[in-house]
Amino acid sequence: MPGAASGSRARHEADLARRRFMEADPANRLVVDVLEAEWNEKLRALHDAQEELEQRRAEDHLKLDDGRRKEILALATDFPRLSHAPKTPQRERKRMVRLLLEDVTLTKGDEIAAGVRFRGGAS
């Protein structure tokens, strides 16, 4: 997604501008003023990139028509068959699981408990 790349680049540039500003000698007012202006410019660019990314995400979400949604849901119900198929490579099984799971937390007490959080937010 191009918006994500430009957002990441803008974030990196804003961080660099901030670092240069923070490392400048406060006694050198001219340099500090220029670096502060540059930092503010990079922050505005970061803000614009983040807004563009959010706008694109909203547009992409609206592009899914009912037919496409049904196809995606059919894949979700077909997951066990795909993951257990002998021709499915192990790397693809792992990739499928990573698409579904956000994280897994193991808690050690008297017994070991596993907490699973899915990408959709369900636990």
In the chain, what are the domain boundaries? 2-62, 66-118
For residue 118, what pLDDT is reported? 85
DSSP 61-123: HHT--HHHHHHHHHHHHTHHHHHH-TTS-HHHHHHHHHHHEEEEEEEESSSEEEEEEETTS--
Backbone φ and ψ for 27, nearest 5 degrees, come out as: -70, -25
Cβ atoms within 10 Å of 23's Cβ, excluding its own: 8
Say how far apart CA 111 and CA 82 lie, in whole Å: 32
Identify residue 82 by its one-letter amino acid code. L
Report pTM. Answer: 0.43
CA atoms within 13 A on the CB side of 28: 10
- pLDDT in single tens digits along all 123 residues of the chain: 455 677 788 889 999 999 988 988 888 888 889 999 999 999 999 999 999 988 888 877 677 777 777 877 787 788 888 888 999 999 999 988 888 888 999 999 999 999 999 887 888
